[in-house]
């Protein structure tokens, strides 16, 4: 559950906004384990060679008068987060063969470009597999994204990223299934039968096997018992607000899910399972969809949950592990509260990572992680162009994390803070609880971003242990001190220095 909004003012897929970007990750190599440091050195050497060859090709294109193409080639050699291309905007169509009818020089540089990028992608893929055998999952998946960027038709990279081949197109398993059943993904109405598109656009709706007006359907579905149910790849959104709102929410959550699974893939599978994924070219999927309920008003939300949650009137969203549903409502200001949604769906994705329902997360210790990471994920953003980011240092969560340290002189040492169980953490005055939430989100930010992500893999491993279905593992995981090999006292110093270095609070 989120901290009440009165206490703290409050989201498929590109590059982390702040210092966990790939370049910063590489720059932090001096702090990395020897095996990862060696891999990073190999990557840098390979990239330098690739960049040199690409720039030579660009020089050739300039000499031949292909100025625009030369600039595009140079851009593709830039470090990942400086690249002008969105690594998640992979082409939907299989790349066509280079026409044999092209002029000799024109064809020459295009063939060379394709060869350079394909060879570099293959080299990165082999490197990613070595990273997996050494249990560096985060680095491996960063490489896989770059593999697909340079060779969009790399079969194993595409499958690891959740794509399947459908003729000359790359799509998702769900979309492929829908297409086979003659459904199309309408921009306004979501997945509907192709034969029904015209009637839907004319204001008609199919309800219980018969056609009625959209106005009549709205009247019927206002009763949540008859609400719209929108199916996406990974979510089932039930809402009595509108079909269009359900489609909007479903699409946003799919982008969030795609990003989440990609960035925190190591959470969902053991190193051994991750290695098997790399061996088979599979992807991390679950057999059922995540369920989301979205009420058209707060009154309905409160009425539905009041018998089960006494403080429901104070919150903006809630995930209930016992029924595996995330509950939300449409705010009066008529803007979907996606920050709350990303917070609660983070709880959902982590809590439902195993078949067993866990109701006592952080019962004896580490409760900060449960709420801190979810609060950090509120900073997830989807831009108008579809690119994504998380970890904005100027987000309101980071503002308060910094302010409590700098101006309020409030900070709970990590040894104490991480030892707090759920009751000790939550049963405090509201003003103190809000500071706990701020420090928790700040700590998650620190562990994911400090020195380019030097503690990132350890943090993800820590989460997987805290969320373990095995109660013996869950109730007594290794401490952050044990996992990182860095004392709590030094982590305290690093956190305070890091949080103070963030952009000035506005």
pLDDT band per the 50, 70, 90 thresholds, residue 269: low
HSE (CB half, 13 Å, CA atoms) of 61? Answer: 23
Interatomic CA distance for residues 443 and 495, integer angstroms: 7
pLDDT value at 373 more than 60: yes
Exposed / middle / buried, residue 406 (Cβ in 10 Å: 0-12, 13-18, 19+): middle
Tokens for 274?
A: 């991750």
Query: What's the pLDDT band for 169 if we cut at 50, 70, 90?
Result: very high
Measure the CA–CA gap between 322 and 357, rounded to whole angstroms. 7
* Residue 23 clears pLDDT 60, i.e. is over it: no
Average pLDDT over residues 165-192: 94
What is the structure's pLDDT at 406?
94
Query: How far is it, in rounded angstroms, from Cα 246 to Cα 188?
Result: 10
Of the listed ranges 104-118, 180-194, 232-246, 251-265, the one predicted with least confidence = 251-265
Q: Which long-range contacts (CB under 8 A, 24 or more apart) does 68-75 make?
A: 69/109, 73/113
Buried b (16+ CB within 10 A) or exposed e, 164-202: bebeeebbbebbbebbeeebeeeeebbbbeeebeeebee
Provide the whole-model pTM.
0.82
Residue 212: beta bridge partners?
Answer: 205
Q: Give the pLDDT score at 237.
A: 98
Distance separating the N- and C-terminal Cα atoms of the chain: 27
Gap between the Cα atoms of 263 and 251, Å rounded:
19
Q: CA distances (Å), 122 to each of 19, 127, 153, 426, in order? A: 27, 9, 11, 50
Sign of CA dihedral 296, 297, 302, 303: negative
Which of 181 and 10 is assigned the larger pLDDT? 181
93: which DSSP letter?
B
Render pLDDT for 211-223 as a digit per residue (tens, 0 to 9). Answer: 999 999 999 999 9
Residue for token pair 């403080």: 311
Collapsing DSSP to helix, strand or coil, 235 comes out as strand
Q: Choose among 357, 297, 351: nearest CA to 327.
A: 297
């Amino acid at each position: 559950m989120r901290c009440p909004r009165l206490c703290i003012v409050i989201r498929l897929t590109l590059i982390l906004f702040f210092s966990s970007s790939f370049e910063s990750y590489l720059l932090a190599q001096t702090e990395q384990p020897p095996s990862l440091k060696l891999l990073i050195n190999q990557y840098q050497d390979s990239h330098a060679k690739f960049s040199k060859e690409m720039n030579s090709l660009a020089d050739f294109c300039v000499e031949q008068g292909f100025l625009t193409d030369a600039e595009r080639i140079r851009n593709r050699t830039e470090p990942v987060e400086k690249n002008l291309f969105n690594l998640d905007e992979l082409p939907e169509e299989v790349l066509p063969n280079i026409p044999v009818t092209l002029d000799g020089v024109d064809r020459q540089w295009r063939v060379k470009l394709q060869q350079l990028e394909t060879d570099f992608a293959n080299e990165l893929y082999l490197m990613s597999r070595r990273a997996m055998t050494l249990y560096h999952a985060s680095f491996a998946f960063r490489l896989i994204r770059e593999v697909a960027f340079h060779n969009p038709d790399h079969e194993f990279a595409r499958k690891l990223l959740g794509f399947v081949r459908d003729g000359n197109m790359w799509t998702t398993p769900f979309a492929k299934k829908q297409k086979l059943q003659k459904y199309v993904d309408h921009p306004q109405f979501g997945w509907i039968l192709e034969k029904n598109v015209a009637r839907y656009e004319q204001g008609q709706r199919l309800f219980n096997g018969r056609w009625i007006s959209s106005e009549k359907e709205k009247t019927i579905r206002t009763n949540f018992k008859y609400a719209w149910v929108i199916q996406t790849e990974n979510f089932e959104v039930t809402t009595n607000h509108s079909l269009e709102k359900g489609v909007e929410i479903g699409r946003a959550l799919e982008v969030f899910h795609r990003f989440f699974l990609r960035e925190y893939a190591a959470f969902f599978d053991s190193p051994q399972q991750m290695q098997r994924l790399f061996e088979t070219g599979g992807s991390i999927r679950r057999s059922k969809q995540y369920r989301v309920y979205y009420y058209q008003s707060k009154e309905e939300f409160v009425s539905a949950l009041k018998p089960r949650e006494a403080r429901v009137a104070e919150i903006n969203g809630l995930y209930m592990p016992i029924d595996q549903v995330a509950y939300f409502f449409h705010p009066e200001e008529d803007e979907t509260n996606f920050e709350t949604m990303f917070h609660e769906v983070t709880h959902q994705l982590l809590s439902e990572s195993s078949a067993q329902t866990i109701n006592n997360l952080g019962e004896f210790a580490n409760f900060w992680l449960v709420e801190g990471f979810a609060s950090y994920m509120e900073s997830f953003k989807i831009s108008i162009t579809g690119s994504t980011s998380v970890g904005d240092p100027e987000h309101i969560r980071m503002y308060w994390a910094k302010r409590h340290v700098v101006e309020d002189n409030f900070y709970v040492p990590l040894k104490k803070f991480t030892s707090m169980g759920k009751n000790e953490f939550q049963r405090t005055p509201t003003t103190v609880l809000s500071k706990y939430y701020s420090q928790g989100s700040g700590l998650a930010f620190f562990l994911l971003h400090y020195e380019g992500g030097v503690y990132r893999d350890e943090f993800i491993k820590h989460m997987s242990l805290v969320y373990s279905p095995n109660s013996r593992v869950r109730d007594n995981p290794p401490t952050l001190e044990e996992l990182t090999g860095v004392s709590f006292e030094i982590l305290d110093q690093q956190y305070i220095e890091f949080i103070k270095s963030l952009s000035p609070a506005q």
